[in-house]
Amino acid sequence: MLNDTTREAIAGQIFSCFKTREQLPLLTKSHPELDMEDAYRIQEKVVSKFIAEGRKVKGYKIGLTSKAMQDMIGATEPDYSSVLDDMFVDEGAELSRDSLATPMVEIEIAFVMKKRLQGPFVNAAEVIQATDFILPSIEVVDFRVAPAPGINVRDTIPDLAAVGKVALGGNPVRLDAIDVRDINAELLINGEVRESGHSSAVLGNPVTAVVWLVNKLSEFGVAFEPGDVIFSGSCVRALPVQAGDSVTARFDKGLGDVNLTFK
């Protein structure tokens, strides 16, 4: 475990990387003693630095929702991060590739909360009752800690779980109008289907991922607030994007498409 001075120093480095788009080497190489509590405490400090600048937390992302991804990065459970207000971009937006370090895209179902919800011991029924509606979304994954052989979840959690930008579709669907376990999704790049998946790939049910998160956040005294957007985890692999690429997330069951382009 790291002392608080070291945690603060690492948080400052990561915060600076958001401004400069320079990348750090793996934290677990320079600080092999860094543990999971350190990772989340550093993340908290990074978020606090943004809040001190006037930014607001508008939601949370859940990552590593498949066993294969957890095994690949040395995790035993999903991970999460706050999502800040200026990380949200409009559907159809054009993003500058040069404003990002190592961008990749993935597609997710987003839950929008209508009431406050705090763990521990929250169950699926309570998550469903607290959800206003769901939306399709694209997450642009980005890395301030540079991906490298041996990368571990303890490298990515301090880096806000590698969140870059997020875009929401504009067609809300209520949970009582859909079987959220049975949604098909495709990730298209330049009009070509590059990945396809099914919502059941997210812990068997995206609701289960949201239950996990609200209970996990309670360990840090954090709750979901009305209007928070919860990105429940991708059902497909993240894919890299380059300048000139157009990206579409396509969902059935009435959720529709979300589009982004990169210049």
Dump pLDDT digits (tens) for 138-178.
Answer: 999 999 999 999 999 999 999 999 999 999 999 999 999 99
pLDDT at 69: 66
The answer on pLDDT for 68 being more than 70 is no
User: Does residue 72 carry a pLDDT above 70?
Assistant: no
Mean pLDDT of 26-32: 96
**Alpha carbon distance 22, 193 (integer Å):** 32
What pLDDT is stored for residue 64 in this prediction? 84
Domain residue ranges of the chain, discontinuous segments joined by +: 57-262
Q: What CA–CA distances, in Å, run from 220 to 36, 41, 43, 213, 236?
A: 13, 9, 12, 11, 29
Return the pLDDT at 73. 73
User: Which of these, 217, 212, 218, 197, lies nearest to 68 by C-alpha position?
Assistant: 197
Q: Tokens at residue 136, please?
A: 């399709």
Tokens standing for residue 220: 């840090």
Q: What's the angle, vertex CA 102, arms to CA 100 and CA 105, rounded to 5?
A: 90
Q: Which whole number is the average pLDDT over 113-119?
A: 97
Q: What does the pLDDT look like over 188-207, one tens digit per residue?
A: 999 999 999 999 999 999 99
Q: Is 96 helix (H, G, I), strand (E, B) or coil?
A: coil
**Residue 74 pLDDT greater than 80, yes or no:** no
Contact 79, 73 (CB under 8 A): no
Mean pLDDT value across residues 38-43: 97
Q: What is the pLDDT of residue 25?
A: 97
Report whether CATH 3.90.226.10 matches the domain 57-262: no
Percent of the chain with pLDDT over 70: 97
Mean pLDDT of the chain: 95
Q: What is the pLDDT of residues 76-114, one digit of tens each?
A: 788 999 999 999 999 999 999 999 999 999 999 999 999
